[in-house]
Structure 1
């Protein structure tokens, strides 16, 4: 068995519909519009993970169990380790800058050190790599999941257990409309950028009454034509 056969990437995610209901990527968009953004991010995370060269496992809302985020994530990690893997890279759907090259780097690092962290710029993490013994030794449910303190807490806990934590470059994640706007100003894969930009533009086009549109056309009739502002 090759060394990489012992490693898997676990995508832990809500369904696109649940993400669209909980996260407001487009403040003027509908729930369906926000779900479309979430679906695009999930598809990108899935495609990126498949290009990393190791097994891929996705645990979405339908396969999660537990009352809290920590319980649901711990259950997903435990079940994936039970398939026989020795190392897991756990990712979410909200880091569009994550690349297959970064994942391949994390695969090598987790086998060398037993622990890898990809810190998010908001204090959380976009990637957590663990060996099976470290997972089994970690007080998983006591960690401050979904807070800006998570990254620091994970580093402290892993070092307490004696792990030499390999740290990846910090990347931004997307949790809201401001995060989406920031992401579109960063280096992204071209298809993802096009898709997110199209969804964002469509979500900002809020229909107005016919009389209001007609009035505006009248006011602008005597003005020179100008292109739209860039964002």
Structure 2
């Protein structure tokens, strides 16, 4: 067992850009190479944010994760880090481009006095999850509704029901689908990632688009929604 002076670790639990591109056709099934470039940008940004957290960082992609299902792999990652001597494990993924070092620092600070901290995503999932070793229950953890829109509410409910102290961070936007990518680009028109999205999805955005909700609503109602949801 490896003991640490720093008892908090930041786990970046992610898939490689290649596998993300195969599973999430953000730019359409015929643009796998574009999707791979996109996820490489997301991963690069996530690792930059993680390395500014001030705590140990462990990045696990599919080549290092152990288990047959997402729940098993995620649970095993937490178990492994507790076994290495960490008291607090805070995990993030690679699909939340508005995640900053400030959010992670807020989570780290929260774990000094709380047993759980989580950041809800707009789709009902979470983008960050911190759990203290003392309240980690393998079976309960594994049986959470992972990868569903019920996850955030379930964690909140269980924390209250079991009288576990917790902190909730602000809600952020995941980028897993074409729709979410377009929403992100509209809301953040001056970012490198937004420029990439705009260029490869072939739509136009004006500097005032993020403030002009009517323009955005009109675009979705007359263009995107008429084509139906993306194929995942």
Q: TM-score range by the shorter chain?
A: 0.7 to 0.9
Larger Rg: 1
Aligned partner of 1:82 in structure 2 is: 83
Q: Distance in 1 between matches of 2:170 and 2:39?
A: 24
Query: Are 2:52 and 1:51 aligned?
Result: yes
CA contact (8 A) 1:29 1:204 kept: no
Shift in CA distance, 4/159, structure 1 to aligned 2, threshold 3 Å? farther
Shift in CA distance, 29/89, structure 1 to aligned 2, threshold 3 Å? same
Aligned partner of 2:196 in structure 1 is: 198
TM-score (norm 1): 0.81
Alpha-carbon shift at residue 45 of structure 1 (Å): 0.9
Equivalent residue runs for 1:7-46 within 5 Å: 7-27=8-28, 29-46=30-47
CA contact (8 A) 1:125 1:150 kept: yes
Alpha-carbon shift at residue 187 of structure 1 (Å): 4.3
Count of aligned residue pairs for this structure pair: 203
Aligned partner of 2:215 in structure 1 is: none
Q: Distance in 1 between matches of 2:5 and 2:114?
A: 14
CA contact (8 A) 1:97 1:172 kept: yes
Instruction: Return 5+ residue gaps in structure 2 as ranges.
Output: 207-232
Aligned partner of 1:106 in structure 2 is: 107
Q: Distance in 2 between matches of 1:75 and 1:137?
A: 9
Equivalent residue runs for 1:37-186 within 5 Å: 37-136=38-137, 139-186=140-187
Q: Distance in 1 between matches of 2:193 and 2:158?
A: 38
TM-score (norm 2): 0.81
Shift in CA distance, 200/80, structure 1 to aligned 2, threshold 3 Å? farther
Alpha-carbon shift at residue 157 of structure 1 (Å): 2.0
Q: Which one has the bigger helix percentage? A: 1
Q: Distance in 2 between matches of 1:148 and 1:115?
A: 19
Q: Distance in 1 between matches of 2:148 and 2:165?
A: 24
Alpha-carbon shift at residue 29 of structure 1 (Å): 5.0
Alpha-carbon shift at residue 136 of structure 1 (Å): 3.0
Alpha-carbon shift at residue 139 of structure 1 (Å): 0.7
SS of match in other structure, 2:145: coil
SS of match in other structure, 2:187: coil
What is the root-mean-square deviation in Å for CA atoms of aligned residues? 2.1
Alpha-carbon shift at residue 67 of structure 1 (Å): 1.6
